[in-house]
Amino acid sequence: MLTPLLSIGAVSKACDVPVETLRTWERRYGFPVATRTPGGQRIYQPATVELLLQAKRSIDSGLRPAQAFERIIAGREAAEPQEGIRPLPTVVCDAPPCTESDAETDALVSRWLRAATLFDSATLAHGFAAEWRKLGLFDFLERRIHPFIVAIGEAWMRDELSIPHEHFASDRIIDFLGTIWRPLSDASTGPVLVGATMPMEQHAVGLHMAAVTAAAAGCRIAYLGLDTPVVEIAKAARQAEASVFISVSVTTPRPLVLEQVRELRRHLTSRNQLAIGGGGARLDIEGVALPQSFRAFFLWCESQPLPRPVR
């Protein structure tokens, strides 16, 4: 289970420091360091409380705030990460399971579909942020984004959406997911995972859903993007001593997927593990992981070895 983060109100109460003072300290001295939720709210690692209490004790003993926080920041920068310990992710993955009915899910997805037909970015952005905060990682992906993607495809098949609508909705999903996984990845010191789609694959949403899951598991993402040559994916993985995750959409022909995955596996070393996911991941190849859910993929990401120490 991931360690839950603290709101600014919780930190204020734990440290007996007014919220406005915490904001002033952050602005003037660069501490406490907050991560922003998609809705713009500050959230903090639990360890922040002890560091703030240390700063308070220094200030109470007569040290100027600038000096107190300079010591705290210098101490954090000098501290070496503990070997074998993954960095704390800045996203909570243990939200209570979603208990709503399928009809309630369908109604929400229908509202989002309507917003896509109107090119209504604000409704989608606010809706994504609200549901992310309510549901957490797994239910948000499985009970919100996945049904929305399916609904977009079905509406396109019925000629209720055009290609511009589909591209617009997909871009809004990708933009939102990117605001979550990129900061997590950038702040992590965990294992590197190379993420890509193989040649002829032009659907990116599944890749970003996987990237959010991997970043929440404490991994750094080397995002190669769409339509990447197999030899280049393997080259990047070998250079970074990284494992690889590949997203395959249901529209990709199965013989092509099998050929490409076998080729990729041949170019990887034994240290480079490989996971394939998405609607087109209908294959059985030795040495290739096929996580059947985002929870299963999360566990696969957590099992990846930490990076070797730099000598």
Is the Cα torsion angle 269, 274, 280, 281 positive or negative in sign?
A: positive
| Structure tokens that stand for 142 in this block | 């499985």
Q: How many CB atoms lie within 10 A of CB 218?
A: 24
Q: What is the pLDDT of residue 39?
A: 62
In single-letter form, the type of residue at position 289 comes to A
Nearest partner of 248 among 212, 215, 204, judged by Cα = 204
Domain range list for the chain? 6-78, 102-302
**Segment 261-294, tens digit of pLDDT:** 999 999 999 889 999 998 888 777 888 999 989 9
Cα angle 122-124-125, degrees, rounded to a multiple of 5: 65
Query: What is the value of pTM for the model shown?
Result: 0.71
Q: What is the pLDDT of residue 231?
A: 96
Per-residue pLDDT of the chain (311 residues; tens, 9 = 90+): 344 578 888 899 888 999 999 988 887 777 887 776 656 677 887 778 888 888 888 888 888 888 888 777 666 545 444 444 444 444 545 556 677 788 889 999 999 999 999 999 999 999 998 898 888 888 999 999 999 999 999 998 898 899 999 999 999 999 999 988 998 888 788 899 999 999 988 899 999 999 999 998 889 999 999 999 999 999 999 999 999 999 999 888 888 999 999 999 999 998 899 999 988 887 778 889 999 899 899 989 988 887 665 54
| Structure tokens that stand for 130 in this block | 């609200």
Measured between its terminal Cα atoms, the distance across the chain in Å is: 32
The span from the CA of 283 to the CA of 136, in Å, is 30
In 200-217, which positions are buried (b, 16+ CB within 10 angstroms) versus exposed (e)?
A: ebebbbbbbbbbbbbbbb
Q: What is the pLDDT of residue 71?
A: 78
- What residues form DSSP beta bridges with 43? 7, 35
Q: What is the pLDDT of residue 14?
A: 87
Distances from the Cα of 167 to the Cαs of 104, 119, 195, 205, in angstroms?
25, 10, 21, 11
- H helices present in 61-161, as ranges: 65-78, 102-117, 121-140, 146-157
- H helices present in 16-89, as ranges: 19-29, 47-60, 65-78
Q: What is the pLDDT of residue 6?
A: 80
Q: What is the pLDDT of residue 54?
A: 87
Overall fold of domain 6-78 = Multidrug-efflux Transporter Regulator; Chain: A; Domain 2 (1.10.1660)
Q: How many CB atoms lie within 10 A of CB 301?
A: 23
CATH of domain 102-302: 3.40.50.280
Q: What is the pLDDT of residue 208?
A: 96
The span from the CA of 102 to the CA of 159, in Å, is 24
